[in-house]
A and B are shown apart, each in its own frame.
Chain A
Amino acid sequence: MSESDDTTADGPLPAEGGPTEEAPESTEDASTDTGEPDDAFDMAGDAEVSSGSTPLEVEGLRKTFGGIVAVDDVSFDVEAGTLTGLIGPNGAGKSTTFNLITGMLEPDAGTVRFNGEEITGLEPHEIANQGLARTFQIARELEEMTVLENMMLAPKGQIGESLWRSVMPITREAVREQETEQLDRVWEVLEFFEIDHLADEYAGNLSGGQRKLLEMARALLTDPDMLLLDEPFAGVNPSLEKRLLEHIHELREEGYTFLIVEHDMDLIMNNCERVIVMHQGRVLKDGTPAEIKDSEEVIEAYLGGEV
């Protein structure tokens, strides 16, 4: 156990090629992976530098469902290495905005740029492969798969995802090797999130909070530059909430960028550098927590708008 404790303290989540060099020992195994994941990550890293400090830029996003305008001309950007909160009362369009960014929904108008490249209208898997990972509002673990299977699913560039490579006797050996390498990282991340004791459980048997942890751990294994968390604290007990927040802060210090949708205003105010407030499909206010707190409009939206 001592070994794992050490790595946990150092932050065992290698943002390989990312902004920090803090976890050299754990980057090793990940970088010995066969070509693809590294390439993908390097590309993302380069792009991040070239586009300056805003990996995510959303401009003029609009989405209507029938006659209802769910998201109306929403524009904002997210700075690299920050924790940005997206808040608003029920029905403000936060989750829709999220789904538009991650490709689950296609916008009627507007653009989304990630690391300088336009990703508007791409398929969710294409967006995920560019390094933009997401979690879901209601944790969507893969119930009848074990925690380990959930985790092993996530890494990018798995050669065994090709049918014939997995089946042919000659190529299967390489698949096994890559999976063995991947496994180390999977266990590290499980230990980091302190859910390694649940590794063999079906994900469906986990408690709500544990599912949230699993979902975040799984998203992290896709080697993202940026994580979009949709209400990560909903239905999570206070002690677990504290733990999740610690994890998020730790990861941010390692160079990950976060955009968090949240209901709980205090939580966002106390933890984010920047807050975007949405109301009735529009961006109401965009600024530091202090600015938001002083804003008349925001107070009105929250006190007057919510039923």
Chain B
Amino acid sequence: MSADEIDDSDGVRSLFDRLLDGDATLVIAVLGAIYLAYVLAGVAFGYGLRGQLNSIANLTFYIGVFGMLALALNLHWGYTGLFNIGIVGFMGIGVYVTALVSKPPVAQGGAAQVGGLGLPLGVGVIVGVVVTALFGLLVALPALRLRADYLAIVTVAFSEIVRFTMMSRTFQSYTVPDTIDLTVAGVQLFSFDPAADTIGLGGGGGLILNYPDPLEALLRTLFLWEPYLGFVGFVQRTLIPNNPKPVIDGFVYGLLLLVGVGLFYVLLSRVGKSPFGRVLKAIREDEDVANALGKDTDRFKLTAFVLGSALMGLGGILWYSSRGSITPPSFRPNITFFIWIALIIGGAGSNTGSFLGGAIFAGLLYEGPRYAKNLIETAFDLGDAPGNFGTAVAPMASLDPVPFVLYTLDSVSQLRLVIMGVVLIWLMHNRPEGLLGHRKETASSVDLSRPGGRDASNAAAADGGENR
């Protein structure tokens, strides 16, 4: 994951060396452990290849999206100290705008109640990111002039406004006239025949994402669609005879998300390891000092906030656009707090830590409890869980804990939040800086050790600059 090291023209060999003893080892070790656990769980469940691939694809998906979003949040909180608790609002804007731009006009869509502009998905994604960035600007302009806690209030309010707007009947559907004319003083300036019949946010029912599958759209753009279908056919003939395409689709999409994480990482490392990132860090530490040193802190905060928001929008698009539909309840603030937990686990301030936090959160806290439940149920045939808490607890009096355990297992998806809370409290007590938050990731594009080579032997330089 240390792709930023491409920067240093130390040659391939030293790059390779640093990859091995640096972050890459850690990332590979953590991912390896998580994947191993999931594969072993799959074996225990008696999954075949198809089941294993499905489980891995699902895990990879969540590692990818949580990794990306934790990285984006790290720019806000870890670097700049901007307390954004409206992440899910930016994600929602991203994916809703993408949907509006790329959904086909309703006449062709059939099942969908509202249409879109029918533009290619690539355009939709770009517009989605740009619009999210603009909303980031809108939120930041008034809020950044206030102190940190006000930004928190503004962002969480904003994300709720976004969600209620999605649900609102006012914006549910709007019938687009057949032609739009702009005529001023009898002169027709503009005539436009919009493709869409109706457009809107779909209200509480959400939007059906009846545009081409994002994976297909991407592969078609890259002229890889035919080879891909060939590969799917090959798998069908050899490994998975029964309709392997959805499984492979999921798997490949997961891999693409990991590539996306890599791109986020490279971008944000470059941002961090630069004079720009240094000013962001200074703002986090003490804004008045940065200001007294001649830095226009408002400008820096604004830029960082807008960039982070845009990345959150992109994260939202990549998370939800491959779903069949999107509905407002998906964008409740709990997603925001999941991402915060991921960042806190990984360690605010470290990009590698942010990704690791995302991966660990996805693997252990988000998906893990469900797997643990299934695992226990597979291992011990315990029968049906009691229907309510009373019947679960009553047998405890006669020292029979089984119904209670069953009940607990059965409610594991609700208990997930409790588990996250407990983990968070434990972290706050024992390791508030997270996994990698203690590290020095020097905010500079160059090695800052003493020039002139007096004590700038290569090893010292590598150690002094980073990883301490």
Contacts and interface: CB of A to CB of B under 8 A. Distances in A.
A170 interface: no
B446 A128 contact: no
A158 B275 contact: yes
Given A149-B281, A163-B307, A218-B293, A175 B288 contact: no
A129 B294 contact: yes
Contacts of A179: 275, 444-446
B275 A166 contact: yes
A159 B444 CA distance: 13
A168 B444 CA distance: 15
B288 A140 contact: yes
B297 A125 contact: yes
B97 interface: no
Contacts of A148: 442, 444, 448
A161 B446 CA distance: 14
A176 B446 contact: yes
A187 interface: yes
Interface in B104-137: none
Interface stretch (B247-255, B266-274, B409-417): B266-274
A23 interface: no
Contacts of A141: 289
Given A142-B281, A166-B274, A166-B276, A125 B296 contact: yes
Interface residues of A, number: 48
B282 A125 contact: no
A143 B274 contact: no
Contact of A125 (B291, B445, B446, B468): B291
B445 A172 contact: yes
A92 B375 CA distance: 72
A149 B444 contact: yes
Nearest to B274: A166
Nearest to A196: B450
Contacts of A104: 288, 292
A163 B271 contact: yes
Nearest to A224: B294
Interface in A157-213: 158-163, 166-167, 172, 175-176, 179-180, 183-184, 186-187, 196, 199-200, 202
B285 A167 contact: no
B277 interface: yes
A176 B445 contact: yes
A160 B295 CA distance: 12
A125 B450 contact: no
A279 interface: no
Contact of B294 (A128, A166, A175, A202): A128
Contacts of B284: 144
Contacts of B442: 146, 148-149
A152 B281 contact: no
Nearest to B463: A200
Contacts of A184: 451
Given A153-B293, A167-B270, A160 B285 contact: no
A141 B289 CA distance: 8
Contacts of A143: 285
Interface string A107-134: 0000000000000000111001100011
A97 interface: no
B93 interface: no
A289 B388 CA distance: 86
Most buried by A among B285, B286, B288: B285
Given A146-B440, A153-B282, A134 B292 contact: yes
B274 A160 contact: yes
B293 A154 contact: yes
A172 B284 CA distance: 24
A302 interface: no
Contact of B286 (A102, A142, A199): A142
A152 B7 contact: no
Interface in B292-332: 292-297, 300, 303, 307
A138 to B, nearest CB: 11
Given A146-B442, A175-B445, A183-B448, A161 B279 contact: yes
B163 interface: no
Contacts of A218: 293
A161 B294 contact: no
Contact of A175 (B275, B286, B291, B443): B275
Q: Which of A124, A133, A202 has the most CB of B within 10 A?
A: A124
B237 to A, nearest CB: 43
B289 A175 contact: no
Given A124-B288, A166-B276, A183-B448, A149 B294 contact: no
Contacts of B443: 145, 149
Contacts of A186: 448
A142 B450 contact: no
Contact of A140 (B271, B278, B286, B307): B286
Interface string A55-70: 0000000000000000
B3 interface: no
Q: Which of B279, B293, B450 has the most CB of A within 10 A?
A: B293
Contact of B278 (A3, A149, A200, A219): A149
Contacts of B267: 167
B464 interface: yes
Nearest to A228: B292
Given A149-B443, A153-B282, A166-B270, A161 B295 contact: yes
Nearest to A190: B450
Given A124-B292, A149-B444, A166 B297 contact: no
B100 to A, nearest CB: 28
Given A161-B275, A161-B279, A183-B448, A128 B307 contact: no
B3 to A, nearest CB: 12
B290 interface: yes
A222 interface: yes
A202 B290 CA distance: 17
A222 B289 CA distance: 12
A7 to B, nearest CB: 12
5 contacts: A125-B290, A153-B279, A175-B274, A176-B7, A176-B445
Interface of A: 3, 102, 104, 123-125, 128-129, 133-134, 136, 140-146, 148-149, 152-154, 156, 158-163, 166-167, 172, 175-176, 179-180, 183-184, 186-187, 196, 199-200, 202, 218-219, 222
Given A124-B292, A186-B448, 9 more contacts: A128-B291, A136-B289, A144-B284, A146-B442, A149-B444, A153-B282, A161-B300, A166-B271, A183-B448
A-B complex: 3 closest residue pairs judged by Cβ atoms: A160-B275, A166-B274, A128-B294
